[in-house]
Structure 1
């Protein structure tokens, strides 16, 4: 299978599976426990139908949206995801360059493999910095100061990961950073030699946002240990309110799944929230993001920018979320499979296909701009 044969999310996933060692593919692909929420995230869209209008005189399609103080040329953005240079040696550079080409936001993760400074300097795209809340309050402040110095536009605090989800696929293969693979995992690496050659012949793997704070190389720590030992499960609203005040700019909380929490985010001065269950990777059995979107938008949509992610695979999924009031829609696995399949060329193709899908679907809906989408063009079964 070639990149030119990839026409949708599932095609990129298939090609990524061919290119990646099994443990790394399953790290991207998997969710928590029985993966019920992972599956439900995409299935939820199928319970909602679009109601198109005809003869509306659609000529030009305007996909621009305003969110978190940024103007985006597309209503989708590249959500921050960890460890991207494990999936392809270009990593975040490929994704940032692609986001810049399509005029949309790109998120750098605390567990990113390229520094926020390099991304901010090299790529002209609105940038999100996603970070976690650490027990070391000085470290939290230092990370925000570093982001300020890099001219990061949007701060995104992930609030649904005070401990890591139970990702049993990773336990079965022994996937971790540093690698601690079992025999099955090692065999799957051996069957994908090109991945190994690329990994060894390019720059050394690192986590530049955390290198000064976490030893990922000597076996003393791992990603799992990072979540267990360094993140602060006692984080509360007062802690976050202090951070919002210190940042004094666009600040959003990622991982909001209740109306009560959305209202609290408004109260402490956040400018945005992301309705997200972390792609089904944290609390299995939690509600799908899409199922909860309308309720939260109704409560706070006029007070704060509501963004949305988890389970998005199609342009119609994006239109359904926008119709319910999401200001913009985050994609993660969509571009990660494409990155693993073919680096920057893969990510650009994935974004181009998604843009074309959304434009075509807007025409078929009889809508010229995102602003014309509303809950009136949806019906739930």
Structure 2
């Protein structure tokens, strides 16, 4: 397909700056921030960008193809849209915007349990191609019902999350009242009034809600009661006892997201998972942890033949995708880049962001004289 994007916003920095000017400060800081002092947030991107690639200019070259295969499925590019919570808070209707764009471009869209559209709606928009990411419920009956809904919606991949055994300590969100329990302060209300287009669209599409969880939530909860409900309903700490029943129930592909060590990779292989996403939750959970690119290199080289190894956290651009794949990732995901796009450009943001990433990656591959994304490791310095 022809790739077209708004030339006024040719980079992720352009989209980020525009997004910052269009949405309330509390929403932007929720999107943009990490945890504690943001050390690992910055490390994720800076250490990934230390990866260097070597071009081969004098060899025969028949053109570059970004098409790739992961978990038995063929996609037009080696990147997808990562699960992001509360997407509708950052830009109204953004999960639907991104699901449509992902379907149009034939890349995966991963729906979070705690975002603002439902499993069924995401499946409808992607014709059953949306992946679903599960926060583990405390009650088995709720777990089973959500998994059955994902199966009924024909989600091909279930992603279970292991890197949120406790909520990250995020000072911005605490100041902004977006911790649990959340609250809307006078300061936040004035921020909303300063972003009238965001406010208008929020009125148009309705107040953001956890749509997948709506059937299980008591009606009429105030914000404090909602926070208590979330704390009581979900337990993010996974172990063999919790994973095995999911593996038995789920007949599609099962992926563990949040892997950051060889030990957890070995456990995922032993428990029969089909893939892992090496991730540190975008630097939002453990500020003292490693950048994602560091464990990826070891995990991919040691276990890449035994399990599909993917990566997110720290990637922002097409060159970043090339760097991660050169280090052994079979596929990549991004969250913030796509949210910057929708917050900046609304309903055009998803298509615009995907087009930029495809164009950037194509240019890198042509510069390297790399015909297939699977050949990128040959260019690693």
Equivalents in 2 of 1:109, 1:133: separation in Å?
Answer: 12
Note the 1:1-381 alignment, pairs <5 A.
4-124=7-127, 126-175=129-178, 180-215=183-218, 218-219=221-222, 221=224, 225=228, 228-232=231-235, 235-374=238-377, 376-379=378-381
3-state SS of 1:313 partner: coil
Shift of the 199–358 alpha-carbon distance from structure 1 to 2, 3 Å rule, reads: same
TM-fit CA distance, 1:189: 1.7
Normalised by the length of structure 1, the TM-score is 0.94
Partner deviation per Cα, 1:109-151 (whole Å, 9 max, x = no partner): 1112111112212324732100111110111111111111111
3-state SS of 2:114 partner: coil
8 Å CA contact retained: 2:181, 2:228: no
TM-fit CA distance, 1:227: 5.3
3-state SS of 1:211 partner: helix
8 Å CA contact retained: 2:23, 2:343: yes
8 Å CA contact retained: 1:85, 1:91: yes
Shift of the 182–226 alpha-carbon distance from structure 1 to 2, 3 Å rule, reads: same
Structure 2 residues without counterparts, runs of 5 or longer? none
8 Å CA contact retained: 1:72, 1:104: yes
8 Å CA contact retained: 1:144, 1:247: yes
Normalised by the length of structure 2, the TM-score is 0.94
Aligned-residue CA RMSD in angstroms? 2.0
Partner deviation per Cα, 1:200-247 (whole Å, 9 max, x = no partner): 132343222111223485226567545533222553122102211210
3-state SS of 1:197 partner: helix
Structure 1 residues without counterparts, runs of 5 or longer? none
Deviation above 6 Å: which 4+ runs of structure 1? none
Equivalents in 2 of 1:61, 1:49: separation in Å?
Answer: 19
